[in-house]
Amino acid sequence: MTIAITGATGQLGRLVVSKLKTKIPAADIVALVRSSAKAADLGVDAREADYTKPETLLRALAGIQTLLLISSNEIGQRTVQHRNVITAAKQAGVQWIVYTSLLHAETSAITSLSGEHLDTEADLRASGLPYTLLRNGWYTENYTASIPGALAGGAFLGSADGAKISSAARADYAEAAVTVLTGEGHRGKTYELAGDQAYTLSDLAAEISRQTGKSIPYKDLTETEYAAKLVSFGLPAPLAQAYAAFDTGAAQGALFDDGRQLSKLIGRPTTPLATSVANALNA
């Protein structure tokens, strides 16, 4: 069985390829990438596959039985991009698609993300191909990436109020994908994947303070204030607004889940917040 991974040079994709190589021969893994040069260090066959060029997708998927469709990072373009992949997969004879969707996509308050994921889920149903949905919650790294800025500014900023966030490390989600790709009984399933222990951004700030010995409080801002701060730090306005909206979506419960499907799937507890903070500080 040959397994292909889209976005294989991305942060999640690289982890999936690495973990997959411990389960199946490297010869059975294909990295689908826009630039094969960037995939040279993966140690697997790399094929050019551009979401916007269907002819490259059809060529790249030749001989593939299973496809992990890691969602594109181009918000606003993903519905069409994913549809191109699904169409090519069907034409190429792919037998099963595993897709990384969004936690509780039907009810998520983060509508800027959920809409495109729901479109893709609908396209998968319409394709007639067997599929599995990995509805990934937030990556803890989405927040720990802000630690250097928090240390420099003396506070961790956000607009999530007291939201409970059930995030997990990116490696946890990668392991779940590999478990599904190499296991049995997953076709037709939808998994709501999130971390075991929920925390607030105040909890995160307290953990940063504990590990650094510095007082780093959490400062809650309005969505508008937070977006303006992010712009002042150099983020483009549309991206700043999106990040601020993610936090206010979290405040409406979008990033909380206590079903522990992720830890059940990978057979171990998800990575603790303290570990993710330590990893970020030691990076």
Tens of pLDDT, residues 145-170: 999 999 999 999 999 999 999 999 99
Report pLDDT for 143.
96
Q: At 263, is the secondary structure helix, strand, or coil?
A: helix
Q: At 78, is the secondary structure helix, strand, or coil?
A: helix
So where are the chain's domains?
3-136, 137-169+193-258+268-283
Model pTM score: 0.96
The amino acid occupying position 162 is: G
Q: Average the pLDDT over 62-83 and give the result.
A: 96
Angle 239-151-195 from CA coordinates, rounded to 5°: 65
Spatial CB neighbours of 236, under 8 Å, sequence gap ≥ 6:
none
Q: Average the pLDDT over 65-72 and give the result.
A: 97
pLDDT at 86 over 90: yes
Tens of pLDDT, residues 5-55: 999 999 999 999 999 999 999 999 999 999 888 999 999 999 999 999 999
Report the chain's mean pLDDT, rounded to a whole number. 96
Tell me which of 3.40.50.300, 3.40.50.720, 3.30.70.3460, 3.20.20.70 is the CATH number of domain 3-136.
3.40.50.720
With beta carbons less than 8 A apart as the criterion, state whether 13 and 70 touch. yes
For the sheet containing 66-69, what is the strand order?
45-48, 29-33, 3-6, 66-69, 96-102, 131-136, 190-193
Tell me which of 1.10.510.10, 3.90.25.10, 3.20.20.150, 3.40.50.300 is the CATH number of domain 137-169+193-258+268-283.
3.90.25.10
Tens of pLDDT, residues 172-217: 999 999 999 999 999 999 999 999 999 999 999 999 999 999 999 9
Tokens standing for 183?
A: 């296991």
Report pLDDT for 283.
85
Report pLDDT for 95.
98
Phi, psi of 6 (to 5 degrees): -80, 155
Report pLDDT for 258.
97
Q: Which residues of 136-174 are buried (b: 16+ CB within 10 A; e: fewer)?
A: bbbbbbebbebbeebeeeeebbbbbbebbbbbbbbbbbb
Distance CA 201, CA 155 (A): 11
Cα dihedral 55→56→62→64 (10° resolution): -130
Q: At 35, is the secondary structure helix, strand, or coil?
A: coil
Phi, psi of 144 (to 5 degrees): -70, -20
Q: Average the pLDDT over 240-266 and give the result.
A: 96
Whose tokens are 């606003």? That residue is 76
Q: Confidence band (pLDDT; 50, 70, 90) for 1?
A: confident
Tens of pLDDT, residues 128-143: 999 999 999 999 999 9
